Chains A and B, each alone.
Chain A
Amino acid sequence: MKNLGRLFLIILFLYLLLGFTGYACAIDFKKKVLPNGLILINSENHNLPVVMVSLILKAGMINEPPEKAGLANLVSETLAEGTISRTSRQISEELDFIGASFDTETTEDYISIDLSVLKKDVERGFGILSDVLINPVFPEEEIKRKKEQIKGYLKKLEEEPSMIALKACKKEVFGEHPYGRMVIGEMETVNSIERDDILRFYREFFRPNNAILTIVGDISEKEIDEIVGRYFSKWDIDRKSLYDTLNVGKIIQSKDTANPEKKGKVIRLHKDITQANIIMGGIGISRDNPDYYALSVMNYIFGGGGFSSRLMKKIRDDMGLAYDIHSLFTPNKQLGMIRIGLQTRNEAVKTAIGEIYRQMEKMRNEYVTDTELSEAKSFLIGNFKRRLDTNRKIADFLSMVEFFNLGDDYLEKYPEYINSVTKDDILRVARKYLIPENFVTVIVANQKYLNID
């Protein structure tokens, strides 16, 4: 009760602080839908002459056919490799000359295109951004080049033990579900992607009514209306009749549970390395699952809270077995994963895994302490707002809130969501999601030296 009282005071204090000083903390933003369906979000912040743009397309890996795995990624990678009026070289030359950064990223659920540009170059930045988005031509030669590059990186990934482990773990946990694949795809599937596949994906999903445009920084609403009107209002209007029969955002393939008989499995993969790289994974939750907040608190206490977490305290601090030990859950649109990762010496593998299971059981069988609960909550709440301290982070945050439908008042509501989590909730989610038999353990190591049987 004493702790709870102190927590209340802390939160009350935070609220008062925010309320009275009117800091950027309560982020001021506006949202509207343009006639072509594009969602436009903006937040003005005039303390630095920069403009951060985030464009989210609501389509990602889950929207590609399994035999063409890597398609969504390849589309986003070739977007800036040539438009009706610019060659690949011209695009990079122009972007570099204004010192802009332009970045595309493909995830399980969406594709994001980020542009960071100085205020004085905002016109040129939007010119290029809209051009690659609306007028890409996907030249054969550029596709070939990118495919070669991606295949090279697939090879390079084989050098990284943690990536090998993650790939194997995802495959086991999600089975046939698209989340069981890597966004980058496989050698054969990437090879099989043709220009037509790219065009089809582009035409189906790169539409204004399937996108979120977020603009944060030194630009007024009036300037935004003007510039967005000029560069984005033309988007799709003349193509609409051609494609409106397509079901925007539909899931091409979704089998939503993992293969049950594969659970509890241990997979050992050989690599000539000096330590064992371990990932233990199980089915978690989708982002809209109401357990998200209880799981956030539980995970912080279990293995997500760095040096405040139980796994770190035990496995690193008390036993000296690993440099990095953590748990995390990745909630995606349809499903998610919860996993534990560590690297340890070969001789300690059995001990470490045994200890992780013990900690899982403890989480499932005992209440967390008052201190653990209050400290987890105060970190999550305090750090949540503190982290939104740059224009780029605010832009990314606002797009994600919109993409996952978290609500326009999410920032204000978050402390409430976290504060309402009880010890019973934590026990409940631990029992629901930390089921030792359901975790797949992948060990990438020099199997010669691994003695775990």
Chain B
Amino acid sequence: MTPKTPKVSLEEEIQDSRPDPQISLDMLLYFAMRKNIFCLILYLLFVLMPVSVFASEVKEFILNNGMKVIILEEHKAPAVTFQIWYRVGSKDEPNGKSGLSHLLEHMMFKGTKIYGASEFSRIIQKNGGTDNAFTTKDYTAYFEILPSDKINIAIELEADRMKNLVLDPKECVLERDVVVEERKMRYEDDPQNLLFEEVNAIAYKIHPYRRPVIGWMSEISSIERQDLYEYYSKYYSPNNAFIVVVGDINVEEVLRAIKDKFEGMSGSINTSILRFDEPEQSGERRFILKKEAELPFVVIAYHVPNFPHEDSFALDVLSLILAGGKSSRLYQSLVYERRIALNVSADYHGFNVFPYLFFISATVSPNGDVKEVESSIYNEIRKIVDEAPSEYEVQKAKNQLEASFIMDQDSIYMQAMKFGIFEILGSWRLFDKYLEGIRKVTPTDIVNVAKKYFIEDKRIVGTLIPKKVEASR
């Protein structure tokens, strides 16, 4: 159980509403640690990769209130996942109220006019299922995984909390305290995550992506019942949400049940398209975080376009060439050959509604030097710009993408997740475009995107300097 994994890219920010039953924090940490970097990359790809399911097998319906329903019958095991995705995330929050989307997600478990606080999960669990939710910059999603004959329970409960949420004032105050503790655990007391949060915040001046999904501490504390209620009324509407179902079910039966529960609600939202004119960055932005920590850590971020921009495919392949597996360039050079870093990762975050960032991060070895680690990363980038990677190297990265793509289909939950992510970006059908785009990437494309985006004046660099180390020097 050698821990090998940095907590890379938690900045992608999936904030579970609560720990899984039976899975403790220790176990989660343990899972995170036992994966090597390659597995971590695979894991990240799992979240990002599309399904190779023929579009014809997936059924799409639009309810009379504008709500989309995506269903795939998958009969390999008697289980089903039901997911409801709301097109609202931290990017939509009013100024001064960061963390509102995430706190509302928590409140969705705190009771409706029909079911009391925390009844939701109790009902799902006693039916042999599990449930959870997560909030990101762009969306908030809720899911259940159940024995397939129990799907109607999820349909009824999700429809109920879409319109009947109580938002009891006392519960709001208590849950705010819970989120404060969550923030301390995930950020305040985790120096690497805190650094990601800081780098993200200085990457933008205007764009709401600068906000952490969990919210700034003082702003979480300022959220009142009224804020939650207005936000809920505005965004939790059938035409601002869609449903994804994957599992051992019958399409017609499930659709009938969904119509029965959801069509009674009217779609109220008029979505306006958000626009943010972020001023161009001209000059490196640098941040130094001094916290009690054992090892220095460096995060380098570059502004990049999002999927399905034509450059997004090459950026994805490039992230694997840099840090996909132990044979990758950064791993070989920094971790294996020179031993100056304990781990290294490269993550292209292309699956966002707005253009976001490409992160490269590394934990410095006890004998390493943080400046040397940083400059070595730039060195490896320069090598790519100077000389195109070989066909073999590009093929290796594509093979990794393809393998994870196929292995991913083992899980109905992951399949549904991918439909959801692509639907958020426009349509679940985009996965075809994604695969096609990846297959077409050439070594020249790699050089071009590296040249175009990995620019000194446009990067954001964060370094964690352990306080202890500083004191002893």
- A residues adjacent to B (C-beta < 8 A): 13-14, 17-18, 21, 23-25, 45, 47-50, 73, 77, 88-89, 92-93, 95-101, 103, 105-107, 116-118, 145-146, 148-153, 155-163, 166, 183-184, 271-275, 277, 300, 304-309, 313, 316-324, 326, 328, 341, 343-345, 374-375, 378-379, 381-383, 385-386, 388-392
Q: Are B121 and A306 in contact (CB under 8 A)?
A: yes
Given contacts A47-B76, A313-B118, contact A320 B295 (CB under 8 A): no
B268 at the interface (CB under 8 A from A): no
Q: Is B371 an interface residue (CB 8 A)?
A: no
Q: Is the CB of A152 within 8 A of B402?
A: no
Contacts known (A148-B339, A158-B294, A308-B125); A103 close to B34, Cβ less than 8 A = yes
A186 smallest CB distance to B (angstroms): 14
* CA–CA, A23 and B248, complex, Å: 10
Q: State whether B78 touches A155 (Cβ < 8 A).
A: no
Contact with A along B156-191 (1 / 0, CB 8 A): 000000000000000001111111111011001111
Query: How would residues 109 to 146 of chain B score, 1 for a CB under 8 Å from any chain A CB and 0 otherwise?
Result: 10000000110111001111110000000000000011
Nearest-neighbor residue (CB-CB) of A445 within chain B = B189
Instruction: List A contacts of B335 (CB < 8 A).
Output: 149
CB of B137 to closest CB in A, whole Å? 21
CA distance A184 to B248 in the complex (A): 42
Closest to A272 in B: B292
Shortest CB–CB separation between residue A444 and chain B, in angstroms?
10
**Contact of B332 with A by CB under 8 A:** yes
A148 adjacent to B365 (CB under 8 Å): yes
- Would you list the 10 A-B pairs with minimal beta carbon distance, nearest first? A382-B128, A99-B403, A306-B21, A320-B174, A92-B326, A323-B182, A307-B121, A320-B177, A96-B325, A375-B126
Q: Return chain B residues, CB-CB under 8 Å to A308.
A: 21, 121-122, 125-126
From A184, A305, A322, A392, give the contact of B3 (CB < 8 A). Answer: A184
User: Min CB distance, A342 to chain B, in Å?
Assistant: 9
When distances are taken between beta carbons in the complex, the residues of chain B under 8 Å from A304 are 21-22
Q: Determine whether the beta carbon of B2 is less than 8 Å from that of A150.
A: yes
Supplied contacts A48-B409, A101-B42, A324-B182, 5 more A-B pairs, CB within 8 Å: A48-B407, A49-B406, A96-B399, A97-B395, A343-B25
Q: Contact: A99 with B404, CB < 8 Å?
A: yes
Q: Do A93 and B327 form a contact, CB below 8 Å, given A307-B21, A316-B178?
A: yes
Closest to B335 in A: A149
Closest to A166 in B: B26
Chain A positions within 8 Å of B175 at CB level: 320
Whether B36 is near chain A, meaning CB under 8 Å from some CB there, is: yes
Contact with A along B1-13 (1 / 0, CB 8 A): 1111000000000
| Assembly CA distance A437 to B122 (angstroms) | 31
Contact between A324 and B19 (Cβ–Cβ < 8 Å)? yes
Please determine whether A89 and B327 come into contact, CB atoms closer than 8 angstroms: yes
Q: Which of B414-473 contact A (CB under 8 A)?
A: 467
Give me the interface of B with A, judged by CB distance under 8 Å: 1-4, 18-22, 24-27, 29, 34-36, 38-39, 42, 76-79, 109, 117-118, 120-122, 125-130, 145-147, 149, 173-182, 184-185, 188-192, 248, 292-295, 324-328, 332, 335-336, 339, 342, 363, 365-367, 395-396, 399-404, 406-407, 409-412, 467
Task: Report how far A101 CA is from B174 CA in the complex, Å.
Answer: 43
Q: How far apart sit A308 and B324, CA to CA, in the bound complex (Å)?
A: 40
Interchain residue pairs with CB less than 8 A apart (28): A24-B77, A25-B77, A25-B78, A88-B336, A95-B38, A96-B328, A96-B400, A149-B365, A152-B363, A159-B192, A163-B26, A274-B188, A277-B189, A300-B21, A304-B21, A306-B18, A307-B120, A323-B179, A324-B25, A375-B126, A378-B126, A379-B21, A379-B127, A383-B128, A386-B129, A386-B145, A386-B146, A389-B412
The smallest beta-carbon distance between A20 and chain B, in angstroms, is 11
Q: Give Cα A323 to B106, complex, Å.
A: 11
List residues of chain A with CB within 8 A of the CB of B29: 160, 162-163
Closest residue of B by beta carbon distance from A344: B181
**Pairwise interchain contact B128-A386, C-beta atoms closer than 8 A:** yes
Query: Does the CB pair A341–B327 fall under 8 Å?
Result: no
Query: A328–B22 Cα gap in the complex (Å)?
Result: 7
What is the CA–CA distance of A97 and B22 in the complex, to the nearest angstrom?
36
Complex CA distance for A157 and B342, rounded to whole angstroms: 12
Pick from B147, B189, B402: contact of A275, CB below 8 A: B189
Q: Which residue of A lies closest to B80 (CB)?
A: A386
Give the distance in Å from the alpha carbon of A146 to the alpha carbon of B400 in the complex.
25
B residues near A375, Cβ cutoff 8 Å = 122, 125-126
Bound-state Cα–Cα, A300 to B185, Å: 24
Residues of B within 8 A of A391 (CB): 410
Contacts of A93 in B (CB 8 A): 327
Q: Which residues of B contact A23 (CB under 8 A)?
A: 77-78, 248
